[in-house]
Amino acid sequence: MNHQGRQVVVLGSTGSIGRNTLEVIHASGEKLRACGLTAHHQLDRLLLQSQEHLPQWIVASDAETASKYDWDALPDGIELLVGEEGIRQLVREPSVDIVLSAIVGSAGLIGTWEALEAGKTVALANKETLVMAGSLVTRLAAEQGGKIIPVDSEHSAIFQVLQDKGVEQVRRIILTASGGPFREWTREQIKQVTVEDALSHPTWEMGPKITVDSATMMNKALEIIEARWLFDIPVEQIDVVIHPQSLVHSLVEYRDGSTLAQLSPPDMKLPIQYALSYPQRWEGPAELLDWSSSFQLDFSPPDPDRFPALELGRQVARQGGTAGAVLNAANESAVAEFLEGRLEFIHIVPACRAVLEQHDFDPHPSLDRLVQLDHWAREETKKWISR
């Protein structure tokens, strides 16, 4: 490890996870240093972050936008890299210790893949990487000596409970879900959901795409797939419960009947910091639970009729192969259409199911094939919506 602290690249530093990560790095003193930052379109914010954190490199991944931007205020000594090639170069830099992958959606796959190929530790906040290419990514990490540490609060909780012990003694893992803003709505009410309704999450502050995924519970469907690959556990041993307080982030039930859980307030800075400090635990900026006041913890099973995304996620986790890439791309496309007012909320999951059923399933795809199917599924989703 570098004598200046752990050198951290933040892929997607201008998004919600990226900004929280920079708070964690700032609060760490000299334990962590943001040596590389990346953004796609939010270049004003990237420039401000560069001035504040003085990384060694920044990447503007949209080459066209970057070429038109005025970089005169970029501090001296910071190297500007551009495009996808810039991300590839950044994550492979020998001095980089940890790559935090926080680019939303399938766009995050390339940086994660390149980092693992270079044998880096990846703090993974981009769940789509494992959803799209779980088998390939976990094999690559094992072959190249890379390590994946989850940043998703649910998978971080399981990772903390398991502590690298494996799942041989585990009966099941239980992912908790807030239930989103519609957990108590009737099916008739859900038919009338607006974009504004869907973007009102009760406990977490997130970007629009992930907030909509929480409302459909597609985020939990994707997390089932993610957990299947991350912990090498059959989908039959992965359950989901509704827990509206979002204080218990997941549970592990062992074969002897013991259940261990990780609890903390809903603050992403904690799983981010744990991924960057692992295996140590440091003082940090995350909020603490107040054990001096009364609070309750409620758990209930999700309604499969109101949240059909969950069964779709289980189906895809069982299939493996190309199914995850197609589901992920179809969902990203459908959510984008919903946010633009071109698709009703209740049709997001049916659109994904229809595209999944149409695709030419391949149990052992290459990375190139997955990328091709990603593009195909987006176009097919738009066709389904405009039919």
- Tens digit of pLDDT for each residue in 222-238? 999 999 999 999 999 99
Q: What CATH number did the domain enclosing 323 receive? A: 1.10.1740.10
For residue 250, being part of any structural domain is answered with yes
The whole-chain average pLDDT of the chain stands at 94
| pLDDT the model gives residue 202 | 57
pLDDT tens across 245-285, in order?
999 999 999 999 999 999 999 999 999 999 999 999 999 99
For residue 167, being part of any structural domain is answered with no
> Is the confidence at residue 201, as pLDDT, over 60?
no
Q: What CATH number did the domain enclosing 83 receive? A: 3.40.50.720
> Is the confidence at residue 2, as pLDDT, over 50?
no
Considering the domain architecture, whether residues 139 and 236 belong to the same structural domain is answered as no
Considering the domain architecture, whether residues 323 and 211 belong to the same structural domain is answered as yes
| pLDDT the model gives residue 163 | 86
User: Rounded to whole angstroms, how far apart are CA atoms 211 and 327?
Assistant: 17
For residue 291, being part of any structural domain is answered with no
pLDDT tens across 38-73, in order?
999 999 999 999 999 999 999 999 999 999 999 999
Q: How many residues does the chain have?
A: 387
| pLDDT the model gives residue 206 | 64
Look at the chain and report how many structural domains it folds into. Answer: 2
Considering the domain architecture, whether residues 208 and 340 belong to the same structural domain is answered as yes
Average pLDDT over residues 73-87: 97
Domain that holds residue 119: 6-150
Considering the domain architecture, whether residues 187 and 219 belong to the same structural domain is answered as yes
Considering the domain architecture, whether residues 75 and 120 belong to the same structural domain is answered as yes
Considering the domain architecture, whether residues 146 and 178 belong to the same structural domain is answered as no
Considering the domain architecture, whether residues 70 and 125 belong to the same structural domain is answered as yes
| pLDDT the model gives residue 184 | 79
Considering the domain architecture, whether residues 19 and 123 belong to the same structural domain is answered as yes
> Is the confidence at residue 100, as pLDDT, over 70?
yes
For residue 116, being part of any structural domain is answered with yes
Considering the domain architecture, whether residues 256 and 347 belong to the same structural domain is answered as yes
pLDDT tens across 301-330, in order?
999 988 999 999 999 999 999 999 999 999
| pLDDT the model gives residue 10 | 99
> Is the confidence at residue 1, as pLDDT, over 90?
no
For residue 131, being part of any structural domain is answered with yes
What pLDDT band is residue 172 in, cutting at 50, 70 and 90? very high
Considering the domain architecture, whether residues 144 and 215 belong to the same structural domain is answered as no
For residue 81, being part of any structural domain is answered with yes
Long-range contacts of 303-311 (CB under 8 A, 24+ apart): 305/187, 306/182, 306/185, 306/187, 306/190, 307/216, 307/217, 307/220, 308/349, 308/353, 309/216, 309/217, 309/218, 309/220, 309/221, 309/349, 309/352, 310/217, 310/220, 310/221, 310/224, 310/240
Considering the domain architecture, whether residues 64 and 210 belong to the same structural domain is answered as no
| pLDDT the model gives residue 256 | 96
For residue 242, being part of any structural domain is answered with yes
| pLDDT the model gives residue 283 | 95
Contact at 8 Å (CB) between 347 and 277? no
For residue 297, being part of any structural domain is answered with no
| pLDDT the model gives residue 204 | 57
pLDDT tens across 101-141, in order?
999 877 789 999 999 999 999 999 988 899 999 999 999 99
